[in-house]
Amino acid sequence: MSHSVSQYIAYKKIFDGKRYPLAFVDMQLLDENINQLRHRSGKTPIRIASKSIRCAHILDYILNADDQFSGIMSFSGEEAVFLSKKGFDDILVAYPVIDKERIVEVCHELKKGKYINLMTDKPEHIRMINEIGKQNGIKIPISIDIDMSVDFPGLHFGVWRSSIRKPINLKSFLEEIKEMEFVSLEGLMGYEAQIAGVTDNIEGKWLMNNVIRALKKISIKKIASKRAIAVKMIKDMGFELKIVNGGGTGSLESTINEPVITEVTVGSGFFNSHLFDNYSAFKHKPAAGFACAINRHPGEDIFTCSGGGYVASGSIERLKLPLPFLPEGARLLENEGAGEVQTPIVYKGKETLKIGDPVFFRHSKAGELCERFNHLLLIRDNQIEMEVPTYRGEGQCFL
Ligand SMILES: Cc1ncc(COP(=O)(O)O)c(C=O)c1O
């Protein structure tokens, strides 16, 4: 579907009589993204990054869409237990859990036969997990997160996460794990954020786009070699890996080329928040959005909406603001951006806008949309198919 005025009218009609602001998922566009992401991943299994969804119904929907989707990449221990209790399984918690009570809860789920794997990169992490495993009489599956950043003169290209940055760090970490009776090393994760999460096709930024593409090209080779060395070292030290996880929405094409990879992760590509419009290698559909009602008309072409200030996390830049996308041509004002309770937009297009009409926006980050809304309205064939709770709608607020 193109974002023409008729698309605006179609969406407006679907939500007629609903209370604004509201959040929605266009299930037909989600289906298109699901298919395209499968295609981009080749035959590599896809783990779903729940942080970019934050709605159990949608997680379940994607998992059931095809066998290629298997497992959840969770963003907190509490979330992993919440999902496990709901019936989800094969959960890789991708960030260290340092809350003892949560690890005890993970033990309870493991004892029920569930698979939850905890991420580590410091001796403190494994010592705590080992101690709690011992107290609860169970071996806890763990993974190691290795740093995938690449340093160029004057530039740290990547993110600051794992302390395991060099083979020597990995070796001593593995030696420590060998001594632990109640942890079972089963996974290796390396997230190449500088490929997966850095846009390289921003309109009007020709020079920057080209520099980033060149840096990405060099990084891809270094990442593959780093991951291969790590896998070999882990195997040589007698561990058997079930999971070698890498990538994200923005890096599928390069991550699947690495022979050691057993699975890729995808989150943002399902809803395709607008940050992911700016990549040269792919184009997904705008499957999720939110609508705010116009409640003021202070200037000829200026319409002020109630709500809308849902700014995304991460580096500080314009791209983190929501993007008005329907009616086509609507844009935010430089001086006001998206406001805490009011968001003015400029619109000079053909559509006649009046008080009470919606303006449709897309969030910059996929899962953060659901932290603003209790429900998602799922639409298909120009009607509302169902309304489902987000994590927030289920009273959950993990991070
Ligand atoms: C460990 C890890 N894997 C994968 C991803 C990619 O997720 P997405 O597809 O939402 O970009 C992220 C995003 O931050 C991550 O932290």
230: pLDDT strictly greater than 90: yes
Q: Whose CA is nearest to atom 4 of ligand 1?
A: 248
User: Is residue 268 lining ligand 1, measured as CB closer than 6 Å?
Assistant: yes
Region 157-180: what's the mean pLDDT?
A: 97
Per-residue pLDDT, 1: 46
The per-residue pLDDT for 6 is: 81
Domain at 209, CATH number: 3.20.20.10
pLDDT over 90 (residue 168)? yes
Q: How confident is the model at residue 15, as a pLDDT?
A: 98
Do 316 and 343 belong to one domain? yes
What is the per-residue pLDDT for 264? 98
Among 51, 120, 284, which is best to mutate for testing ligand 1, by the most ligand atoms less than 8 A from CB? 51
DSSP for 320-362, please give it. Answer: GS-EEEESTT-EE-TTT-S-SSEEEEE--SSS---TT-EEEEE
Q: Are residues 101 and 233 in the same domain?
A: yes
For residue 121 the two structure tokens come to 């990169």
Residues 181 and 328 in one domain: no
Average predicted confidence (pLDDT) for the chain? 96
Cβ 196 under 6 angstroms from ligand 1: yes
Which range among 52-61, 75-84, 147-156 shows the weakest confidence by mean pLDDT? 147-156
- The reply to whether 278 falls in a domain is no
| pLDDT of 2 | 46
Give the residue-averaged pLDDT of 117-145: 98
CB-side neighbour CA atoms (13 Å) of 257: 9
Task: Report the separation in Å between the CA atom of 197 and the middle of ligand 1, taken as the mean of its atom positions.
Answer: 8
- In the predicted model, is pLDDT for residue 349 greater than 70? yes
> Per the domain annotation, does 183 fall within a domain?
yes
Specify the DSSP element, H or E, that contains 69. strand 69-74
Residues 228 and 301 in one domain: no
Residues 184 and 293 in one domain: no
How large is the average pLDDT for residues 229-251?
A: 97
pLDDT in tens, 63-109: 999 999 999 999 999 999 999 999 999 999 999 999 999 999 999 99
CA dihedral in degrees (35, 37, 41, 44; nearest 10)? Answer: -70
For residue 82, being part of any structural domain is answered with no
Gap between the Cα atoms of 14 and 8, Å rounded: 10
Task: Verify that 122 and 252 share a domain, yes or no.
Answer: yes
Question: ∠ at Cα 242 (241, 243), nearest 5°?
Answer: 95
**Ligand 1 atom at minimum distance from 250 CA:** 11
The pLDDT of residue 199 is: 86
**Domain count across the chain:** 2
Cα–Cα separations (whole angstroms), residue 56 to 31, 50, 133, 253, 380: 17, 9, 28, 28, 19
Question: Which pLDDT band, with edges at 50, 70 and 90, does 202 fall under?
Answer: confident
In a domain, 67, yes or no: no
Q: Mind listing the pLDDT tens digit for each residue in 334-348?
A: 999 999 999 999 999
pLDDT of residue 81: 98
Q: Which of 216, 232, 266 is the last residue of a domain?
A: 266
Are both 158 and 293 inside the same structural domain? no
In a domain, 74, yes or no: no
> Which of 210, 231, 266 is at the close of a domain?
266
Answer yes or no: do 230 and 287 share one domain.
no
Residue bearing the CA closest to ligand 1, atom 5? 248
Same domain, 233 and 96: yes
Q: pLDDT at position 129, please?
A: 98
Mean pLDDT confidence for 143-148: 98
Write the single-letter amino acid at 57: H
Same-domain check for residues 173 and 316: no
Mutate to test the pocket of ligand 1, among 33, 46, 50, 52 (most ligand atoms within 8 A of CB): 52
Residue whose Cα lies nearest atom 15 of ligand 1: it is 191
Instruction: Write the pLDDT tens digit of every residue in 29-53.
Output: 999 999 999 999 999 999 999 999 9
Residue 236 covered by a domain: yes
Q: What is the CA radius of gyration of the chain?
A: 22
Checking if the pLDDT of 353 tops 80, the result is: yes
**Is residue 50 in a domain?**
no
4 confidence band (pLDDT: 50, 70, 90): very low
Same domain as 230, residue 202: yes
Q: Which domain holds residue 142?
A: 90-266
Residues 94 and 196 placed together within one structural domain of the fold: yes
Mutate to test the pocket of ligand 1, among 47, 72, 73, 370 (most ligand atoms within 8 A of CB): 73
Q: What is the pLDDT of residue 197?
A: 79
Q: Whole-model pTM?
A: 0.96
Q: Are 192 and 246 in contact (CB under 8 A)?
A: yes
The verdict on residue 34 lying in a domain is no
- How far is 237 from 169, CA to CA, in rounded Å? 14
The domain that holds 335 is classified in CATH as: 2.40.37.20
Q: What pLDDT is recorded for position 42?
A: 97
